[in-house]
Amino acid sequence: ESSTFALVSRQNATIAALEAELKRRPRDDKRAARPRDDRSEPLERRDAPERSDGECERKFGSGLVESYRASARVWCDGSSSKLVCYQHRYEHNSKTGLFCEGFNVTLDPARIKGSVTSKKSKVGAYLSFEKGATRAACAKTAHWSPSLFMPHMAPQLSGLVQDPPRARLEPETTYLMARDEDCENMFHSTADHLNAYIVGRVLGLDWRRVRTMLWDRHPDGPFVELIRRSFSRNGPLRRVGDLGGPTLFAHLIFHLESPAGIVFPKVAGPTGVMRCRRSSLWRGYADHVLASFDLLDRPPPDIPTVLFSVRRRTAAKNVGRVFADERALVRVLAEGNAMRYSVVDFAAMPFADQLRAVRDSNVLVGAHGAGLMHVIFLPDEAILLEIHPSYRLDRHFRLAARMADKIYLPLRSTAPVTCTGSSDAIPLDPALFEQALDAALRIARAFDDGVAECGLRCDPRLLALDPSMRPHLPPNTAPLSTRFPC
């Protein structure tokens, strides 16, 4: 117990230094912020300012980080504990995002209820908390505003009890991640993961020193490997049942919950959002994840490489937006020359394998669906060809492509879908598919130093103009003459 109080004393000294620093800053002395280690994000791109896109970067990039930082307020203040919260009102959807960090906060697992569900549940996915499940030696300040708590935070912090620290100490930073109700879906899960990255940017977290707890009742799901590698580098993921008893956390972070964030499913988006061309936060998040899987520096493909993402019905899930005639579309792909293609069902692949397949491609093709969120992980020069069924007007992945600085090509099927139960099949004219694919490949052949001005099926003489294409051509293929004939 003496070692616990010794570490608490050192933490108190840190808090005192933090307060002294705040008093020197030319802003409201009631605000508080945690000192940031500029070395703490080794995976972040250092060229973020060059990616600035004016108003869009202010709303969805570095400006958002600074807004959160400037909002810091002490909501609970004491001699040995503090709760500091950060908030931002998003202009694009009028939602207020809030996350908090606690210093010397005790969690009592005996007062926290909720076992992991065996399958997805849209109700009761949050943990429940008895009074005293969360304790801290601090008193609520004038900034305490329960109405601003994120849904998962409200039941926990409404039962906060003022109590001196008397528990086993956890000295490292712990991140409580309460995931979206659709956390098995890549689009919705990305909202949580990108929010965690934003919190890390605001607080200057070194993720090598952070351990994450899954703070919900959801099954682990398909993205636990991403969370573990990218946001829990200091140890395996934990659940509340792993605590073993009351635990004093030197530094505890309460998650910025979606849908408060910059991933949002709007039909057309607020006016002007779709004009945004890039976001340093979207790019930084993608780099952070890729580096966590040792894929950030993977070279792009040497020739146009198409990744055709398909969805297939299984006995376990009658998934929708399958292609009515997948084989006909694959036959179109097979007609190309000096290009590669592969057909994948992301739902049947481990996440690490998905990332590798995406990094080895520069044209991602698929029907509107969560797997297209992989557009953010494509190589720097890449294309998303999104196939819309007749009835969907959503712009989820157009926005993701733009924020990630990728090229976006839409293709809409005008024929009505056919249904098998709740699952729809998209009919797509192979000739129409070929036209769109040809356009995508014409762009892809111009990536880097490419000079082959052709698409799906190329005259070998055109390909021979590009030295990088010669290994993929028959021997002694002569290039098209480019001499002026007159």
Q: What are 135-160's pLDDT values in tens digits?
A: 999 999 999 999 999 989 999 999 99
Would you state the structure tokens that stand for residue 168, as one six-digit string? 């086993």
What is the reported pLDDT for 122?
A: 53
Whole-prediction pTM: 0.87
Q: What are 260-282's pLDDT values in tens digits?
A: 889 875 654 556 677 788 899 99
Q: Which residues contact 3 (CB under 8 A, 6 or more apart)?
A: 169
Residue 49's pLDDT band, with cuts at 50, 70 and 90, is very low
Residue 55's H or E segment, with its range, is helix 55-60
Q: What percent of the chain has pLDDT over 90?
A: 71
Contact in structure between 445 and 457 (CB atoms under 8 Å): no
Tell whether the model's pLDDT for residue 51 goes beyond 80.
Answer: no
Tell whether the model's pLDDT for residue 38 goes beyond 50.
Answer: no
What is the reported pLDDT for 56?
A: 85
What is the reported pLDDT for 427?
A: 95
Q: What are 439-452's pLDDT values in tens digits?
A: 999 999 999 988 88
Contact in structure between 143 and 116 (CB atoms under 8 Å): no
Tell whether the model's pLDDT for residue 124 goes beyond 80.
Answer: no
Backbone angles phi, psi at 225, to 5 degrees: -65, -40
3-state class of 254 per DSSP?
strand
What is the reported pLDDT for 265?
A: 58
In angstroms, the CA 334 to CA 136 distance is 64
Lowest-pLDDT range, 15-19, 341-345, 460-464? 15-19
Would you state the structure tokens that stand for residue 385, as one six-digit string? 């060809």
Tell whether the model's pLDDT for residue 410 goes beyond 80.
Answer: yes
What is the reported pLDDT for 264?
A: 73
Tell whether the model's pLDDT for residue 370 goes beyond 90.
Answer: yes
Q: What are 177-222's pLDDT values in tens digits?
A: 999 888 999 999 999 999 999 999 999 999 999 999 999 999 999 9
Q: Say which residue, 121 or 140, is predicted with more confidence.
A: 140
Contact in structure between 85 and 73 (CB atoms under 8 Å): yes
In angstroms, the CA 420 to CA 484 distance is 60
In angstroms, the CA 93 to CA 109 distance is 36
Mean pLDDT is highest, among 15-19, 87-91, 287-291, for 287-291
Average pLDDT over the chain reads 87
Q: What percent of the chain has pLDDT over 70?
A: 86
